Each structure stands twice: as structure tokens, then as C-alpha cells.
Amino acid sequence: MAGNSFGKLFNLTTFGESHGMALGGVIDGCPSGLDIDVEAIQNELDRRKPGQSEIVTQRKEPDTVKFLSGIFEGKTTGTSIGFIIENANQKSKDYSHIKDVYRPSHADYTYDKKYGVRDYRGGGRSSARETVCRVVAGAIAKQLLKDVKIYAYVSSVGDISLNKPLNELDFSLTESNMVRCPDTETAERMIERIKEIRKEGDTIGGTVGCVIKNVPIGLGEPVFDKLHAELGKAMLSINAVKGFEYGSGFEGSKMKGSEHNDIFNADGSTKTNLSGGIQGGISNGMDIYFNVAFKPVATIMQNQETIDNQGHVVEMHGKGRHDPCVVPRAVPIVEAMAALVLADFYLINKLYH
């Protein structure tokens, strides 16, 4: 109810603040007998972790996951899986510059108004550090989904876009460059742009695309819990996300029905896929694809006017080590959230067969 749980059957509940003792979570509803590849989970965490390349924040966090329950002799037991990620350097920082100050376009003001109290150390619960738990659970969801392949990638940085048709993308290239764009030439331009932005002490937005292959037919519940509605919620719940579109998306709103309809092949597949793999809220076996918009990171290394909690106008200057552009590290988070949604619907769908 208070927003720290996701999923109905494959359910993740998380806790933890950016500078508390540890973050962690409980996965409830993971079927028993699943072989858990802990290395693969840690690998996903490494894709998300700070300090991994020169275009992301230079903070150092090992982000090592520790499983406390639910896995026995390498297999899930069907009981709840508890895990924690200890915060390596949660101590002894000086937060006096933000303790009483509301940073522009952060959650400081709204948290204080909602709760009357706030863990002001580096964003507390509103920090994107919270997504570390999503990546752990998403990695287990991926192992449950086995045959399903989820490929997220950076589709734009500022106004530099990846302008290739989806079927020409080679996702084996995504991890070959530090911005995670599966087109080498575009990747280079994106990296260049991020470096410039960082030098300016500024930040920039971007988009993450995602293609999901081998999705079984029948996932998604019609009416309120349509597959794309849950995917949309999942993506919009990631820090800094401003928009979600799937299939033909916003461009589709400009089209005619005669152009937009996906004509069937005899085997039930479709000649085009403007539906984005989902019809009536239910997967139809074609590739699912969607696009997620991220705003520029709010913490900039420039002077900004703002207010404190007494309503005084003050000047502040960003401190610390922050991402100039969030999308490269968002790629594994988008995949994790997609995996959580699919795992949940995969289990729900088993009910009715």
C-alpha cells in the first residue's frame, strides 16, 4: 500500500536508503526448484553499479548481494528469498549543505511535506540507489523466464538518436561500449556528448529502448492489468522517467487504421508489428518493444537558486559524484523491471491452464 512492493504473484518488497546500513528486499512467490545462478545476478548488479566507466558517477560501491534465505543447496525452496546489499560507505559524510535545503526537481520538498521528516543523507529513500534491489529481483525473474530474451539499450542521449529499424539492431553490441547503444557509431557520438555535458557541470536526458523476444502468447490480464499497462507502470516507477510508449507509440496516434492494422499470417504471426507484441493487453507472441524517456539528472555542478525549509531563498552548488546522464546505468534497471512484470504474468497465466 505504501508503495514498497511490486508484483502480485512474483512479489518484490524492498527497503533501504542511499546512506543507511543496507538496502534489501524480499522476493515472495518465486517457485521452488529453480536453480539460482548467483554469478549472473552479481553480473547484472555490476552493469548497474557506480564507477564502472568514465561517463558515469565515480562513486565506488561494490554492490555485493547477500542472500539470507529461500535458496538452499543452490535451488529456490518456494519460501521467501531475503537479500541485502550493504552500503559500503554510508558513514561520516557531511550533509549539512542539504539538510535543510530543498534541491530543485528532487524529492526533498515533497517528502518533507508528505512525511514531516526525511532522511536527508544523499536522497535517502528517494535516491535511485533503491533500484539496486530491483536489479537483484529482476535477475532472478530472468532465470525463471529462461527462454525469454530481454534487450534494453540506449536509444537516445539528448538529441542524438539511434535511427535504425529494430530488426537491424545487433544487441550483442550493447555491452561493447560504455553508453550501451547497440550501434557503434551512434554510441561514440553519445559518449562524446556526455563528456561535453559533464565538463559543463551539467546533465542531459535520454531514452532507453527495450525489445523482448520469445514471449509466450497469453501473458497479460485484460481490462485494468493489461500487459503494456503494467510495463508502463514498471518503467514509470524508475527514478527520472517521464514517458513510456510501446509498439507504434505516440507516432501511432498520427496514423490511419488502414496503415496501422497488423495483418495476420496463416500461423497467427503478423506481417507488421505496430501492436508491439500486445493485442487487447495480452501478448501475441510477436516481439514486445517499448521506449522509455528519462529526464536529465537534477543534481548539476552549477550554482542554483533554491529555498530552505524555512522558505528562505538560498544559493546552492551541487556536490559529490553524480551521473551526467542516467541512461547507460538505466539499461539493466529497465530490463529488471521488464523481467519482474513478465515473471508475474507468467505465473498468473499458469493459473488458467
> Which 310-329 residues touch a second copy, going by CB under 8 A?
311-313
Which strand (E) or helix (H) includes residue 343?
helix 327-351
Dist CA 254 CA 182 (whole Å): 28
> Which 204-223 residues touch a second copy, going by CB under 8 A?
204-207, 217-218, 220-223
> Which 88-117 residues touch a second copy, going by CB under 8 A?
102, 104-107, 109-111, 113-117
Nearest CA to 330 among 244, 218, 221? Answer: 244
Nearest CA to 12 among 97, 115, 81? Answer: 81
Residue 241 cell numbers, joined = 522517467
Rg (CA), the chain: 21
Site string for a second copy, 29-68 (x = CB under 8 A): x-xxx--------------------------------xxx
Decide if 293 contacts 207 (C-beta within 8 A). yes
- Closer to a second copy by Cβ: residue 88 or 176: 88
| CA distances for 305 relative to 195, 223, 270, 346, angstroms | 25, 46, 54, 49
**Rounded to the nearest 5 degrees, what angle is found at the Cα of 83, between the Cα atoms of 77 and 88?**
155
Residue 118 is a binding residue for a second copy (CB under 8 A) = yes
Among 84, 181, 330, 338, binds a second copy (CB under 8 A): 84
Least distance (Å) between residue 319 CB and a second copy:
15
> Which 276-315 residues touch a second copy, going by CB under 8 A?
276, 279-284, 293-300, 302, 304-307, 311-313
Q: CB under 8 A: which stretch of 46-54, 135-143, 145-153, 273-281 binds a second copy? A: 273-281
Residues in contact with a second copy, total (CB under 8 A)? 147
Least distance (Å) between residue 184 CB and a second copy:
22
Residue 256: CB partners within 8 Å, gap ≥ 6? Answer: none
